[in-house]
């Protein structure tokens, strides 16, 4: 065997064993390894992971999910106990002490209020991830968007870039300020093959955990079987490139605090235009300005040359 064939054989063999291993791994254990989303972003792929479908019409505002999340992630005790309904008086957002909050919305012409839970939506192409310059965020293959506090510098660009105002920041801490965000319970539960804590704890079955594709099917099915009960839209199916956490609502989404103006383009696509000029500047500028320099200095060097010639002529 000559050397070239040997190399070829080696490479092909390597690839084969690699593929084989991949299959094996997929078949045996449940949680797939985390993949950084950079390659996927580049290829424009939407990872097919798991997700949660949250049905606002089923939620009764008991805040069990808030309580269990607080316990699961050892967050500080809130000022008011979790069964205190006075918190509903104003609309809250996630903060240092809460990865998730439930809000109450009074709807005009309707007796019963509608409740809505807020947490990270685990976007397919997360704005937080693409804006983070130390790559603290990871879109895992299972669908959860996780955050690594060990590398976070605290620039808070992710908070600028998240279209859903999700990441909160521990401003009160001088020595360990970090981002607080729902991780879909990735480390504590998903890796063990369990559903997120809040989903499992919900007494009204308001949330379903499953394959994202199945959930989308299920959502449309629910809309179809219950005519008039839901707005005919699955929020999160397409918003900003699709999110893993999706919503069904009995009232128009903007009445319960959803931003319905976000569009379907992922956040990253707005930045691409600038990023695409970077290599252009990097390659064209040096040539262009060296050219200017040569042009600008040619006169001088010509002068010097002529002087030289003149002097030589004298000799």
Partner 1 sequence: MNKFVAEGFKPITSPYKEDGKTKWTIQEKLLLGLSTPDYITQLIRNPLNWVFALIFSVGMPLVALRFIKGLSFVTHSSYDYPWGLFLGWGLFVMVPLSASGFMLGTTVEVFGRKDFKPIERLALLNGLLGYLFAVVFLQVDLGQPWRLIYPMVVSLGPQAVLFLVAWHVATYLSVQVAELVPAFAELFDMPRTKKFIKSMVIGLTISGIILSTLHQGALGALFTYAPGKLHPLWYSSTFMWFHFFCSAIFGGLSMLIVVSTICKYFMAWRCDDNFLNNIDKLTMSLAKGSAMALITYLIIKIIGVAHDNDWIYLVSGWGQWFLIELLVGTIVPLVLFTVAIRTNNVGLARFAALIAVFGIALNRLNTVLIAFNWQLYQEIPHPREIGIVITIYTLYIATYRFCLARMPLLYTWKDK
Interface with ligand SF4: number of residues (CB under 6 A)? 41
281 binds, among ligand SF4, partner 1, none (CB under 5 to 8 A by kind): partner 1
56 binds partner 1 (CB under 8 A): no
- Using CB under 8 A as the binding rule, whether residue 34 contacts partner 1 is answered as no
For ligand SF4, give the closer residue by CB, 16 or 270. Answer: 270
Among the listed residues 83, 133, 228, 311, the single contact to partner 1 using CB under 8 A: 133
Nearest by Cα to 126 from 140, 106, 108: 140
Quick check: 217 binds partner 1 (CB under 8 A)?
no
User: CA torsion angle for 225, 231, 237, 242 (degrees, to 10)?
Assistant: -170
CB atoms within 10 A of CB 20: 10
Q: Does 178 bind partner 1 (CB under 8 A)?
A: yes
**Residues 6 or more apart whose Cβ sits within 8 Å of residue 134:** 151, 152, 153
Rounded Cα–Cα distance for residues 63 and 253 (Å): 21
Q: What tokens appear for 142 in the block?
A: 């299972």
* HSE of 237, CA atoms in CB hemisphere, 13 A: 13
Q: How far is the CB of 42 from ligand SF4 (least distance, A)?
A: 18
Q: How far is the CB of 209 from partner 1 (least distance, A)?
A: 27
> Which residue among 126, 236, 250, 266 contacts ligand SF4 (CB under 6 A)?
126
CA distance 271 to 43: 15
The secondary structure element, H or E, covering residue 210 is strand 207-211
Which one of ligand SF4, partner 1, none is in contact with 290 (Cβ closer than 5 to 8 A by kind)?
partner 1
Tell me which residues in 139-178 interact with ligand SF4 (CB under 6 A). Answer: 145, 162, 164, 166-167
From the list 92, 72, 95, 75, the residue with the least C-alpha distance to 184 is 72
Of 121, 74, 101, the closest CA to residue 247 belongs to: 121
Residue 261 binds which entry of ligand SF4, partner 1, none, with Cβ cut-offs from 5 to 8 Å by kind? partner 1
Tell the smallest beta-carbon distance from residue 75 to partner 1 (Å).
15
According to DSSP, the β-strands at 245-248 and 50-55 are parallel
Cα separation, 139 vs 147, whole angstroms: 9
Task: Pick the closer one to partner 1 by CB: 93 or 106.
Answer: 93
Q: Return the residues of window 209-248 that contact ligand SF4 according to CB under 6 A.
A: none
Q: If binding means CB under 8 A, how many residues of this protein chain bind partner 1?
A: 61
- What are the φ and ψ backbone dihedral angles of 203, each rounded to 5 degrees? -75, -15
Q: Of these partners, ligand SF4, partner 1, none, which one is at the site of residue 57 (CB under 5 to 8 Å by kind)?
A: none
Query: Cα separation of 56 and 114, whole Å?
Result: 7
Give the span between the Cα atoms of 37 and 126, in whole angstroms.
9
Residues found near partner 1 in the complex (CB under 8 A): 38, 41-42, 93-95, 127, 130-136, 148, 151-157, 159-161, 163, 165, 167-174, 177-178, 259, 261-263, 267-268, 270-271, 273-275, 277-278, 281-282, 285-286, 289-290, 292-293, 296-297, 300
Residues found near ligand SF4 in the complex (CB under 6 A): 59-65, 69, 72-73, 99-100, 102, 115, 117, 119-123, 126-128, 145, 162, 164, 166-167, 181-185, 196-198, 202-204, 206-207
């Amino acid at each position: 065997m000559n050397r070239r064939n040997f190399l070829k054989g080696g490479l092909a063999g390597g690839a084969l064993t690699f593929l084989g291993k991949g299959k094996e791994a997929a078949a045996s254990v449940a949680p797939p390894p985390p993949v950084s989303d950079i390659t996927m972003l580049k290829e424009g792929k939407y990872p097919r992971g798991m997700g949660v479908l949250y049905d606002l019409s089923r939620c009764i505002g008991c805040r069990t999910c808030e309580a269990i999340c607080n316990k699961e992630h050892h967050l500080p005790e809130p000022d008011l106990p979790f069964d205190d309904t006075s918190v509903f008086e104003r609309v809250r957002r996630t903060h240092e002490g809460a990865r998730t909050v439930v809000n109450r919305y009074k709807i005009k012409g309707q007796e019963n209020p509608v409740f809505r839970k807020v947490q990270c939506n685990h976007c397919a192409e997360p704005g937080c991830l693409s804006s983070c310059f130390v790559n603290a965020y990871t879109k895992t293959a299972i669908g959860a968007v996780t955050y690594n506090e060990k590398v976070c510098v605290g620039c808070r660009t992710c908070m600028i870039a998240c279209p859903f105002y999700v990441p909160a920041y521990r401003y009160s801490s001088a020595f360990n300020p970090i981002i607080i965000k729902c991780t879909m319970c990735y480390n504590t539960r998903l890796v063990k093959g369990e559903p997120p804590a809040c989903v499992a704890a919900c007494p009204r079955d308001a949330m379903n955990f499953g394959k994202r594709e199945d959930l989308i099917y299920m959502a449309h099915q629910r809309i179809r079987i219950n005519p008039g009960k839901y707005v005919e839209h699955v929020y999160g199916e397409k918003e900003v490139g699709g999110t893993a956490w999706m919503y069904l609502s009995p009232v128009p989404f903007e009445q319960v605090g959803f931003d319905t103006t976000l569009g379907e383009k992922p956040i990253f696509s707005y930045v691409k235009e600038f990023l695409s000029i970077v290599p252009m500047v990097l390659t064209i500028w040096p040539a262009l300005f060296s050219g200017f320099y040569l042009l600008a200095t040619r006169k001088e060097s010509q002068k010097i040359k002529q002087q030289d010639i003149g002097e030589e002529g004298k000799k």
